[in-house]
Amino acid sequence: MRRTATRLADDRELIYFDRDGAAGRGVRDTRELPPRPPASEMRHDPILDEWVAVAGHRQTRTFLPPADQCPLCPSAPGRQTEIPAPGYDVVVFENRFPSFSTEPVELSATGALGEVRAGTGRCEVVCFTDDHDSSFSALSPEQVSLVMAAWADRTTELAAIPGVEQVFCFENRGAEIGITLHHPHGQIYGYPYVTPRTRRMLASAERHRERTGGNLFADVLAAERRARVRVVAADEHWTAFVPAAARWPFEVHIYPNRQVPDLPALTDAERDSFGPLYTGVLRRLDAMFDVAMPYIAAWHQAPVRTGRDLSYLHLELFSVRRAPGKLKYLAGSESAMGAFVNDVRPEEAARMLRG
């Protein structure tokens, strides 16, 4: 892998990840861009003991531009984009409209009971390919391995930023999910706190270890591999299964068969075998109703400083589509109370995906 770092016109970092040497990596961004926005404002909710980021500048972010104005495509004569080069394999750059950053911010909340502080962190965009009309499911195994190398590189780099407590790599796909750009891409967040979902998972893992002496995630994986009824795909290094208590109509968790805390800890063999298995699962989702399935793909990694011995890297993949022409909306029970009701039996979802 060849890694080439450069700077955009507003001093944001951009990094090319190439399998081989490539031309155009020295092309400079000559656009006239506005100053970088301030960091978000972090406000603590004392009732739920959760942090909420307030980032008003994100209201002006690019929203579903036509293909010929896509900011994630390579630059072309007469049209400069976020990527100065005329082509690329994988690119990562700082988000122009970040939820968290290292820019200064004037705190404005007054009279609030909870703590208020700067949203110090980092947000990056990951372009999986320069082909605007492609998708992650269409990537070659070699391209997926390169994406994974980029994820691992950025996880290590963002974890080293002072104040970052957790690194989250994810992809939103489909208008039903709420994407703002169609080009195949994902994002990486360097959070200035450990997220509520991760705190809850680690608390469950700690209680499980106290009761049994085992690792909760490893024990869940072992149980699913024994039962097999919810396993969708598996190979020497990975297992994909529908969790027994799936919240979403079509939800698949993908675990390495070996406990590791994060993406940088994977071996080359584990990275190389992930692509064929994962893209196969994505193609199964697309074939379910013969439409491009909207989904969220979320990597659960160990926090930077806490709970690393309890953590177990895994990917959570789920779709809001429950049937042809029907979506699962988070209405009263799910949104207000966090109490999920799933319309599709997990065993049936696994059977449909295997078929």
Q: Which domains does the chain have, with CATH numbers?
A: 2-193 (3.30.428.10), 197-354 (3.30.428.10)
Annotated binding-site residue? 132: yes
pLDDT < 70: residue spans in the chain: 109, 111
Residues 232, 225: Cα–Cα separation, whole Å: 10
Phi and psi, residue 347, nearest 5°: -65, -40
What is the structure's pLDDT at 23?
Answer: 72
Annotated binding-site residue? 300: no
What is the structure's pLDDT at 62?
Answer: 78
Annotated binding-site residue? 314: no
State the angle between helix axes of 268-288 and 346-354 in degrees (0 to 180), rounded to the nearest 10: 100
* Helix ranges, the chain (H): 141-159, 196-212, 216-227, 268-288, 337, 346-354
Q: How many residues does the chain have?
A: 355
What is the structure's pLDDT at 67?
Answer: 87
The residue annotated as part of the active site, out of 44, 57, 182, 185, is 185
Q: What is the pTM of this model?
A: 0.95
DSSP string, 277-294: HHHHHHHHHHHHTTS---
DSSP string, 332-350: IIIIIH-----SS-HHHHH
According to DSSP, the residues that pair with 124 across neighbouring strands are: 94, 188
Query: Which residue, among 143, 161, 159, 183, has the nearest Cα to 62 in the 3D structure?
Result: 183
Phi and psi, residue 105, nearest 5°: -150, 145
Annotated binding-site residue? 183: yes
Residues 250, 5: Cα–Cα separation, whole Å: 38
What is the structure's pLDDT at 59?
Answer: 85
253 included as an active-site residue: no
Residues 320, 28: Cα–Cα separation, whole Å: 40
Residues 27, 77: Cα–Cα separation, whole Å: 12
